[in-house]
């Protein structure tokens, strides 16, 4: 039995208690939340980002075309451009299976180009079945200038390609195609279905832009002096201003990040979803196992000044230096920044804290109302964690960011984690947590754990599940809250739990007692597989739904066959975006291995048989 004492007063719960943590992991930004449809639009992909890359990754060439890095470039920070021969063309393959267009919708094309007068660019949208929109012609005249055209899609396709052909020799850069229909119709905007799914959570805050990608790599800038460093920590000044002037970078997670989704867009998105922005800046001690502290005092001071400039960018009047930059980008009013994180998961607590104190002193001297958030390293307990907490407590820090990824059992067994936290010590920002899976049992364990967070809402002031987004064809990390490909997105069971709590934030905890304690000692619910039958077939667009109709897994087979397992023999492979049986075995069972922790749901498989096979 549960007894409730309505007269007793438990902790007050802040409206901002539950938020989201957006990190550009699993291609969450380019090819994800950032609505740009062209991959590698500025020919900046480099082997330093990923050994499989070249400046022409995602492009195919018909005729003469090459990426060039010389003084003819568009600007200093956009190093490469495309030199296209007369009568030649280049075609972009987009992300996942290709460029997604929907019949009747509009798409804005733009390109920076330079060519002799009399040059015509012919721009087409097509897929293997033919054209997807009426071709456009763009007349280019002289030096670098931006040209635009609009397409209206005549058909829906997930496999579109954008081609640009030139009548004469031309230089091209920033080849871009954006859906007109972005979240809240913002320019340089966000993919609507993904942004709407995040908005539906009604997040109290948005923590961004990471995670490991913030606080790893070189702390240098993107300049000739630093040798055009590619593996740089995430530095906000790289990510603002006109997109063609933003430096690209290697992402910690093994790909290129265009920074088209940058700090201005993060602040604007936070505002659009009614959430408090909570940026994290590098602390000059690399985290995520890299264990390197920067001793260069001038570099440290530059980063501290950058952090002060960031606060001015967010909050300063439009007449201030950085407030003016924000106003010029389209937002004269401030973004109301109140919290800022310094550092992420440092394994060197003493080195981190020494530098953190310098950041904090500078921020508090200029902006005493800003809460500067510290952290407790990468673990939920142990020596590093204890040392970090001791330093934070003795240093009278306001708030400490904790992270943990454990199995569902752990979450059930640690519901009381915060019951014993010092009520007079730093507050907790649970910036990242997840039980290890997207199955229902994981979501349930997280829900149980969240009741413990709420019971301790006087100590735990902010909490966000992590990671937020995963593009199913480019996964570095599982589980994730929201999954997507180039045409669809679907929330996990964990998403539904977050949504439930986030949409029902109470004002105050009403203390309650249970007469029995649930047994959480044994393993929870076994997992089951999912299967479907095939004779001789090729499958396209397989979708797995739960009994309530929500999508658990969808696959258009643009990836590799290892996502699927077979029982009963037969040999299958992925060919041209279809899952094809390559021998004549009579029967096969196709079992999803999309999630290593198999789903324990009542599952249904809908497979569309490809015509002609």
CB of 253 to ligand AHR, least distance (A): 8
| Residues facing 119 on adjacent strands | 140
Q: E strands of 75-135, at which residues?
A: 81-84, 89-92, 99-101, 106-127, 130-131
Angle between helix 321-328 and helix 297-315 axes, rounded to 10 deg: 50
Q: Does 403 bind ligand AHR (CB under 6 A)?
A: yes
CB of 511 to ligand AHR, least distance (A): 33
Segment contacting ligand AHR by CB under 6 A, of 95-103, 210-218, 383-391, 564-572: 210-218
Q: Which of 477, 532, 543, 589 binds ligand AHR (CB under 6 A)?
A: 477
Q: Does 323 bind ligand AHR (CB under 6 A)?
A: no
Q: Which of 211, 343, 491, 577 binds ligand AHR (CB under 6 A)?
A: 211
* 345 included as an active-site residue: yes
Q: Does 432 bind ligand AHR (CB under 6 A)?
A: yes
DSSP state letters, 384-421: HHHHHHHHHHHTT-SEEEEEEEE-HHHHHHTTTGGGGS
Q: Does 344 bind ligand AHR (CB under 6 A)?
A: yes
Q: Which DSSP state fits 562? A: G
Residue among 37 and 466 whose Cβ is closer to ligand AHR: 466
Residue among 144 and 477 whose Cβ is closer to ligand AHR: 477
Residue among 304 and 466 whose Cβ is closer to ligand AHR: 466
Q: Tokens 């349930």 sit at which residue?
A: 444
Three-class secondary structure assignment of 36-48:
CCCCCCCCCCCCC
Mask of contacts with ligand AHR, 361-380, x by CB under 6 A? -----------------x--
Residue among 380 and 496 whose Cβ is closer to ligand AHR: 380
**CB-based contact 255:173 (threshold 8 Å):** no
Q: Which residues contact 480 (CB under 8 A, 6 or more apart)?
A: 26, 438, 467, 468, 469, 470, 492
Residue nearest ligand AHR (C-beta atom): 211
Q: Does 345 bind ligand AHR (CB under 6 A)?
A: yes
- Residue 339 is encoded by which pair of tokens? 């919290």
CB of 287 to ligand AHR, least distance (A): 7
CB of 394 to ligand AHR, least distance (A): 24
CB of 20 to ligand AHR, least distance (A): 12
Segment contacting ligand AHR by CB under 6 A, of 68-76, 154-162, 176-184, 205-213: 205-213
Segment contacting ligand AHR by CB under 6 A, of 6-14, 54-62, 206-214, 582-590: 206-214
Residues counted in the chain: 613
Calculate the alpha carbon distances from 414 to 2, 406, 407, 417, 520 in Å.
20, 11, 11, 5, 10
Q: Which of 23, 221, 472, 595 binds ligand AHR (CB under 6 A)?
A: 23
Q: Does 467 bind ligand AHR (CB under 6 A)?
A: yes
Q: E strands of 360-511, at which residues?
A: 371-375, 399-406, 427-435, 460-463, 469-471, 482-484, 489-491
Q: Which of 13, 17, 20, 25 binds ligand AHR (CB under 6 A)?
A: 25
| Residues facing 21 on adjacent strands | 207
CB of 153 to ligand AHR, least distance (A): 35
Closest C-alpha to 594, from 534, 495, 527? 527
Q: Does 179 bind ligand AHR (CB under 6 A)?
A: no
Q: Tokens 């708030």 sit at which residue?
A: 399
Q: Which residue out of 36, 244, 312, 345 is catalytically annotated?
A: 345
CB of 484 to ligand AHR, least distance (A): 17
Cα separation of 532 and 249, whole Å?
43
Residue among 432 and 454 whose Cβ is closer to ligand AHR: 432
Cα separation of 218 and 228, whole Å?
11
Q: How many CA atoms lie within 13 A of 433 on its CB side?
A: 27
Active-site residue numbers? Answer: 345
Q: Which residues bind ligand AHR (CB under 6 A)?
A: 23, 25, 210-212, 288, 344-345, 378, 403, 432, 466-467, 477
């Amino acid at each position: 039995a549960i007894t409730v004492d309505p007269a007793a007063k438990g902790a007050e719960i802040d409206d901002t208690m539950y938020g989201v943590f957006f990190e550009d992991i699993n291609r969450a930004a380019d090819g994800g939340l950032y609505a740009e449809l062209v991959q590698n639009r500025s020919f900046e992909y480099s082997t330093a980002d990923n050994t499989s890359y070249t400046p022409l990754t995602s492009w195919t060439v018909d005729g003469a075309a090459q990426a060039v890095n010389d003084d003819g470039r568009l600007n200093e920070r956009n190093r490469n451009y495309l030199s296209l021969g007369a009568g030649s063309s280049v075609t972009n393959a987009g992300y996942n299976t290709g460029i997604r267009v929907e019949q009747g919708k509009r798409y804005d094309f733009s390109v920076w180009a330079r060519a002799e007068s009399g040059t015509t660019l012919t721009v087409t949208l097509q897929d293997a079945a033919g054209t997807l929109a009426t071709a456009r012609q763009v007349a280019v005249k002289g030096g670098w200038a931006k040209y635009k055209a609009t397409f209206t899609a005549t058909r829906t396709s997930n496999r579109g390609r954008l081609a640009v052909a030139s009548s004469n020799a031309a230089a091209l850069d920033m080849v871009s195609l954006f859906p007109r229909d972005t979240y809240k119709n913002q320019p340089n905007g966000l993919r609507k279905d993904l942004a709407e799914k995040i908005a539906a959570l009604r997040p109290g805050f948005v923590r961004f832009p990471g995670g490991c990608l913030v606080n790893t790599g070189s702390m240098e800038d993107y300049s000739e002096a630093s040798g055009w460093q590619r593996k740089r920590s995430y530095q906000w000044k790289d990510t603002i201003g006109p997109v063609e002037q933003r430096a690209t970078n290697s992402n910690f997670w093994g790909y290129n990040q265009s920074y088209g989704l940058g700090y201005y867009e993060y602040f604007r998105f936070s505002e659009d979803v009614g959430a408090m922005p909570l940026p994290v800046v590098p602390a000059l001690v690399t985290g995520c196992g890299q264990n390197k502290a920067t001793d260069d005092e001038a570099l440290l001071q530059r980063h501290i000044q950058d952090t002060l400039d960031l606060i001015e960018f967010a909050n300063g009047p439009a007449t201030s230096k950085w407030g003016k930059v924000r106003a010029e980008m389209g937002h004269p009013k401030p973004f109301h920044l109140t919290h800022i994180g310094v550092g992420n998961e440092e394994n060197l607590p003493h080195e981190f804290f020494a530098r953190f104190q310098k950041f904090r002193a500078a921020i508090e001297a200029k902006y005493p109302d800003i809460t500067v958030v510290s952290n407790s390293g990468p673990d939920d307990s142990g020596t590093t964690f204890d040392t970090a907490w001791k330093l934070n407590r003795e240093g009278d820090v306001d708030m400490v960011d904790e992270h943990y990824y454990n199995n569902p059992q752990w979450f059930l067994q640690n519901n009381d984690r915060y019951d014993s936290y010092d009520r007079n010590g730093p507050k907790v920002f649970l910036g990242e947590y997840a039980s290890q899976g997207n199955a229902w049992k994981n979501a349930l364990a997280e829900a149980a754990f969240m009741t413990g967070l709420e019971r301790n809402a006087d100590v735990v002031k902010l909490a966000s599940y992590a990671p937020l987004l995963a593009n199913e064809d480019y996964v570095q990390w599982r589980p994730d809250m929201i999954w997507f490909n180039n045409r669809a997105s679907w929330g996990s069971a964990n998403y539904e739990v977050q949504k439930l709590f986030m949409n029902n934030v109470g004002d105050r905890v009403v203390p309650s007692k249970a007469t029995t304690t649930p047994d959480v000692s044994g393993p929870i619910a076994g997992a089951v597989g999912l299967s479907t039958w095939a004779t001789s077939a090729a499958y396209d667009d397989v979708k797995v739904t739960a009994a309530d109709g929500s999508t658990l897994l969808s696959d258009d087979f643009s990836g590799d066959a290892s996502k699927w397992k077979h029982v009963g023999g037969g040999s299958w492979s992925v060919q041209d975006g279809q899952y094809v049986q390559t021998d004549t075995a009579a029967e096969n069972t196709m079992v999803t291995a999309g999630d290593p922790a198999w789903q324990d749901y009542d599952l249904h498989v809908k497979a569309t048989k490809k015509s002609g096979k």
